[in-house]
Chains A and B, each alone.
Chain A
Amino acid sequence: MLALLRNQKIRGIIFQLLTVIGLVAFLWYIGANTVANIEQRGIQTGFGFLDGTAGFGIDQSPISYTEENTHGRVFIVGLLNTIIIAFVGIICATIVGLIIGILRLSSNWLIAKLAKAYIDFFRNIPLLLQILFWYNVVLRAMPNPKQSFNFFDTIFINNRGLYFPLPEYNTTFFMILASLFCALIASFALNTWANRRKIATGQDFIVFPFAIGMFILFPILAYFLGGAHLNFSFPELAGFNFKGGKTLSPEFLALTFALTIYTATFIAEAVRSGIEAVSHGQKEAAVSMGFSPYQSLKLVVLPQAIRIAIPPIINQYLNLIKNSSLATAVGYPEIVTVFAGTSLNQVGQAIEIISMTMLVYLIISLVVSALLNWFNHKMKIQER
């Protein structure tokens, strides 16, 4: 027996087995304990509550929702609101982060220092504090609906949100939407063709002006093809609030703003470190071959910098998605606020609801990281 223990290989297996057994036993213990306690209290279990009437209102919902809908519907509304805030946040943070990251390396002293100051300032203040700050500042500084900031009677800003006109969903509107999509596809196709031609013949073809042309021309054509009936619904002051048009709530704006500003600092640093990690010889080589600064950035530096910057940027995207749950502090109705908050309180089944919410974040994060890992893989140097 002792001889067996002295055998390194067998000893290794024994300890691994013990660890696994210990872990399983621990989890089983927690599970059994929970079940016993729930049974003792007579707390309801199961997912039947999802079919129960919610009975409370939600202010912002991308799908139709009334108080008579179920808790299952509340879950969907919360999930969609989470996805919306994460999506908008990621797009805005990427744009701001990219710009700041590049400005940070500018040879202009003032611009570089300003970018650095921005990063140092916002990176080092807790996000929750920033959300509360923007929310309260936005709220306090804005006038009430009757004295809204008025831009040409079409866009209004007040302490209830940002109001802007929305086109009605008719044939013309959908034609224009489709035409924009066509323009996008056509631009991509043109770009692919231009690249192939360049490789084959070495001749340049500037795609950019053609793409712009398509994005202007296609919607105009679509407008007339679709019957030239584009009706806008304008926001109008009626009673207590504005009616018509589309509203972005102060909660949504404050959250988007804070998430963007905060996450952009980290993305900017990732971009900067990516660019700086490209060896100096590469830039010198580009200059010596007669590349302009723009060409050297676009053709030599950025393709290599992106490879280095992608993994840390993926991390920031995942952080942003998870940070969106701080919305509960200002009452933006995403999944933690409405489902793991209000619904949980009404039905009291904490284990089921919290597990579902955790699963949502887990799945969103895994999907995003799978997508970006695929992109990362694709961007790797193709070794031949």
Chain B
Amino acid sequence: MMLRSKLAKISLATIAVLGLGSTTLSADTLAEVQKQGFVKCGVDGGLPGFSEVGSDGIYKGIDVDQCRAVAAAVLGDAKKVKYVALNAKERLTALQSGEIDMLSRNTTWTETRDTSLGLNFTGVTYYDGQGFMVTKKLGVKSAKELDGASICLQTGTTTELNVADYFRTNKMKYKLVSYDTNDQVVKAYESGRCDVLTSDQSQLYGLRIKLLKPEESIVLPEVISKEPLGPVVRKGDGRWFDIVRWVSYAMLTAEEAGVTSANVDAMLKSDNPDVKRLLGVEGQMGENLGLKKDFAYNIIKQVGNYGESFEKTVGQGSPLKIARGYNALWTHGGLQYAPPFR
């Protein structure tokens, strides 16, 4: 009898200790990032212009700049980023499970992803749309002529849903060949496994550079979808969400106010109240976010404003030479628009 009651007690205690101590993933990402001393940022790692490892072994690209900007804002040093290269299939699960603090991997903002996956998109850092690339030899001039073609694409993307919709709407047939990574897609396209390579337009230009003979392929004029790309964070951590969102806005505001990495020190003495608030000379924008006063100064000094980042990574200063287009500031007829810093 005694033995039995003892056993019962032990078992109850074991269960209680293990059960009650069940830890949930910390909801305070900011505190965690400050404790670990770096931002864990999920990127593609193999996409020219967006995120790729340069010849010097350093990650570069417009997506990478978002990670660096967050690190500069939170930790004061844009270099304090730990990059995790993820393929399209892994990326959302990696964020859900807490393997990374934020995802900046040319990820399209969709309703499903924003609502049912326990994730939140913080904004749009690049307005994109899906297109097709074909070899010149085929003599195809329009996507409407692609009936019966074999199409290579990366699986786990909105791309395969758009293709299905487009061909269905236009009553055309196609053969789908899907791979895990962009590298495999390019390889298959080059070897002639498929006639068409489809992806977001910005990526098509990036992948085209990777081909052995880029001049033999053309990008068709049709853009078949809206692909707003932006950073993603886990749901349930409002403060971290605000930080990642306002880091992007700070870069846009800086461009709008003419603050660049070159003139940011001089701008500290500016009379413009917008600039003063942005750089933390006036107001308490930084404190509102739980950051230091000079968070935006650090971003602009170390990473640059949105325009600088764009031109350096995908624009005229890069091999991609993509025009600003929709990604110009609203003041220049584009869609990039930051709410006021006040």
Contacts of A26 in B (CB 8 A): 18
Q: Is A43 within 8 A of B117, CB to CB?
A: yes
B116 → A minimal CB distance (Å): 4
B92 on the interface (CB 8 Å rule)? yes
B90 → A minimal CB distance (Å): 9
Beyond A22-B14, A41-B234, whether A342 also contacts B193 by CB under 8 A is no
Q: Is B149 within 8 A of A241, CB to CB?
A: yes
B69 on the interface (CB 8 Å rule)? no
B178 on the interface (CB 8 Å rule)? yes
Contacts of B187 in A (CB 8 A): 136
B141 on the interface (CB 8 Å rule)? no
For the complex with contacts A24-B15, A37-B25, A344-B89, 16 further pairs of A-B residues with Cβ separation under 8 Å are A25-B15, A40-B25, A40-B236, A43-B116, A55-B161, A56-B176, A57-B176, A68-B168, A241-B150, A331-B184, A342-B89, A342-B160, A345-B88, A345-B92, A346-B112, A348-B96
> How does the 8 Å CB contact mask read for A11-50 relative to B, with 1 for contact and 0 for none?
0001001100110111011001100111011111000000
CA distance A241 to B176 in the complex (A): 12
How many residues from B make CB contacts under 8 Å with A?
59
Contacts of A10 in B (CB 8 A): 3
A78 on the interface (CB 8 Å rule)? no
A interface secondary structure, majority: helix
Q: Is A41 within 8 A of B192, CB to CB?
A: no
Which of B7, B118, B156 is the one whose CB lies under 8 Å from A345? B156
Q: Is B180 within 8 A of A33, CB to CB?
A: no
Contacts of A347 in B (CB 8 A): 112, 116
Contacts of B164 in A (CB 8 A): 55-57, 67
> How does the 8 Å CB contact mask read for B11-47 relative to A, with 1 for contact and 0 for none?
1001100110111110100000000000000000000
Chain B CB count within 10 A is highest, among A4, A58, A344, A348, for A348
CA distance A220 to B11 in the complex (A): 74
A238 → B minimal CB distance (Å): 7
Which B29-73 residues sit within 8 Å CB-CB of chain A? none
Q: Is A25 within 8 A of B14, CB to CB?
A: yes
B191 on the interface (CB 8 Å rule)? yes
Beyond A159-B191, A342-B160, A345-B156, whether A67 also contacts B148 by CB under 8 A is no
A62 → B minimal CB distance (Å): 16
A-B contact pairs, 14 of them (CB 8 A): A1-B6, A21-B15, A25-B14, A32-B19, A33-B22, A41-B118, A56-B176, A139-B191, A144-B192, A328-B180, A331-B184, A344-B93, A345-B157, A348-B93
B235 on the interface (CB 8 Å rule)? yes
A234 → B minimal CB distance (Å): 17
Contacts of B161 in A (CB 8 A): 55-56, 346
How many residues from A make CB contacts under 8 Å with B?
56
CA distance A93 to B77 in the complex (A): 57
Beyond A25-B14, A37-B24, A67-B168, whether A59 also contacts B177 by CB under 8 A is yes
Q: Is B3 within 8 A of A4, CB to CB?
A: yes
B320 on the interface (CB 8 Å rule)? no
A243 on the interface (CB 8 Å rule)? yes
Contacts of B236 in A (CB 8 A): 40-42
Which B101-130 residues sit within 8 Å CB-CB of chain A? 112-113, 116-119
Q: Is A36 within 8 A of B24, CB to CB?
A: yes
Which of A32, A33, A40, A345 is the one whose CB lies under 8 Å from B89? A345
B174 on the interface (CB 8 Å rule)? yes
Q: Is B163 within 8 A of A57, CB to CB?
A: yes
B262 on the interface (CB 8 Å rule)? no
Q: Is A25 within 8 A of B160, CB to CB?
A: no
Contacts of B174 in A (CB 8 A): 57
- Nearest A-chain residue to B3, judged by Cβ: A4
Q: Is A350 within 8 A of B155, CB to CB?
A: no
Q: Is A160 within 8 A of B150, CB to CB?
A: yes
> How does the 8 Å CB contact mask read for B168-184 relative to A, with 1 for contact and 0 for none?
10000011111110001
Q: Is B24 within 8 A of A44, CB to CB?
A: no
Contacts of A17 in B (CB 8 A): 7, 11
Chain B CB count within 10 A is highest, among A1, A43, A68, for A43
B332 → A minimal CB distance (Å): 36
Which of B14, B18, B96, B113 is the one whose CB lies under 8 Å from A41? B96
CA distance A331 to B146 in the complex (A): 22
Q: Is B25 within 8 A of A28, CB to CB?
A: no
A294 on the interface (CB 8 Å rule)? no
B265 on the interface (CB 8 Å rule)? no
CA distance A19 to B18 in the complex (A): 14
CA distance A345 to B116 in the complex (A): 12
B165 on the interface (CB 8 Å rule)? yes
CA distance A159 to B164 in the complex (A): 23
CA distance A28 to B9 in the complex (A): 18
B216 on the interface (CB 8 Å rule)? no
Beyond A136-B187, A160-B193, whether A36 also contacts B22 by CB under 8 A is yes
B294 on the interface (CB 8 Å rule)? no
Q: Is A243 within 8 A of B148, CB to CB?
A: yes
CA distance A14 to B165 in the complex (A): 63
Q: Is A240 within 8 A of B150, CB to CB?
A: yes
A15 → B minimal CB distance (Å): 11
CA distance A21 to B117 in the complex (A): 34
B10 on the interface (CB 8 Å rule)? yes
Which of A21, A43, A160, A328 is the one whose CB lies under 8 Å from B118? A43
Which B311-341 residues sit within 8 Å CB-CB of chain A? none
A250 on the interface (CB 8 Å rule)? yes
A204 → B minimal CB distance (Å): 56
Q: Is B22 within 8 A of A21, CB to CB?
A: no
- Nearest B-chain residue to A52, judged by Cβ: B112
Beyond A38-B118, A350-B93, whether A342 also contacts B163 by CB under 8 A is no
Contacts of B192 in A (CB 8 A): 139, 144, 159
A295 → B minimal CB distance (Å): 51
A202 on the interface (CB 8 Å rule)? no
Which A326-368 residues sit within 8 Å CB-CB of chain B? 328-331, 337, 341-342, 344-348, 350
